[in-house]
Amino acid sequence: MEPVLEVRGLVNRFGSQVVHDGLDMQVQADDVFGIVGGSGSGKSVLLRTILGLQRPSAGTVRLYGKDITQLSEAQLRPIKAGYGVAFQEGALYSGLTVLENVQLPMIEHLQLPPDALDGLARLKIRLVGLPAEAAAKYPAQLSGGMVKRAAVARALALDPQLLFLDEPTSGLDPVSAAAFDDLVLYLQQHLKLTIVMITHDLDSIFRTCNRVGVIVDRRMESDTLERIVNYPHPWIQAYFHGERARARLGAEHGA
């Protein structure tokens, strides 16, 4: 089966600083793929490259088989309509209400009558577990957890097959974070989504991801969650078996 997302030989260079040097990555349909890496290892740069927000120095990024590094803005348009992105801080348009935020991608890409726009947007807002009255609120009036959910609602506006989440649980308390993990699983199962998420949160990874890619030494090691925890690379060992991870693993094995 053709992978949904395939990155080959990616190189990202800023001046003399090399962020990625021959990074490969593959995401299959229905994967929940977690991207892990130390601070400054280039997780965000990788996401920005995949989204076409910046051109890589070398390498290819294929989304549904099309190399986006070679496409023009106009050619990218249908591809961009096929995925949704929830940015780390939500990146909700601060001048618009939640409802208008969700409607904006629909207005950009579809010709819909106003009442259909309204109904669809409210559906998305309910889908991510936000109360109906949140629709009329501005992003500044929402709590951190609600902003993240609203961002997912907007990312789902065009019914994408592929969803990108940038640190979806960062800055949330453990209970909200767990609730968000449940949301990710729920959406993945009910909407048949492929999800790529950057995360630091071990709980999130063990709860939601079936495959994990770790950025180490400017490349990516990726495998199923069960196998990658046993990779010998010191950083991977420190990450999955450090102080903070041990309790988690113990719980998994005990269960």
- Looking at 13, 55, 77, 227, which residue binds other proteins (CB under 8 A)? 77
CA distance linking residue 64 with residue 41, whole number of Å: 26
Provide, rounded to whole angstroms, the least separation between the CB of residue 187 and other proteins.
Answer: 18
CA distance linking residue 184 with residue 168, whole number of Å: 10
Of 23-31, 50-58, 63-71, 188-196: span binding other proteins (CB under 8 A): 50-58
Q: Does 81 bind other proteins (CB under 8 A)?
A: yes
CB 166, CB 130: distance < 8 Å: no
Return the residues of window 109-148 that contact other proteins according to CB under 8 A. 109
C-alpha 9, offset from chain centre: 21
DSSP state of 40: T
- Looking at 108, 159, 173, 182, which residue binds other proteins (CB under 8 A)? 108
- Looking at 3, 22, 38, 52, which residue binds other proteins (CB under 8 A)? 52
Element containing residue 115 per DSSP (H, E): helix 114-127
Choose between 108 and 182: whose C-beta lies nearer to other proteins: 108
CA distance linking residue 151 with residue 161, whole number of Å: 16
The maximal CA–CA distance of the chain, rounded, in angstroms, is 56
Of 21-29, 85-93, 232-240, 241-249: span binding other proteins (CB under 8 A): 85-93
CA distance linking residue 167 with residue 171, whole number of Å: 9
The residue written with tokens 């106009």 in the block is 74
Provide, rounded to whole angstroms, the least separation between the CB of residue 203 and other proteins.
Answer: 25
Q: Does 11 bind other proteins (CB under 8 A)?
A: no
Q: Does 93 bind other proteins (CB under 8 A)?
A: yes
Provide, rounded to whole angstroms, the least separation between the CB of residue 183 and other proteins.
Answer: 19
CB 190, CB 123: distance < 8 Å: no
Q: Would you tell me which residues interact with other proteins (CB under 8 A)?
A: 48, 51-53, 73, 76-77, 80-81, 84-85, 87-89, 91-95, 104-105, 108-109, 154, 157-158
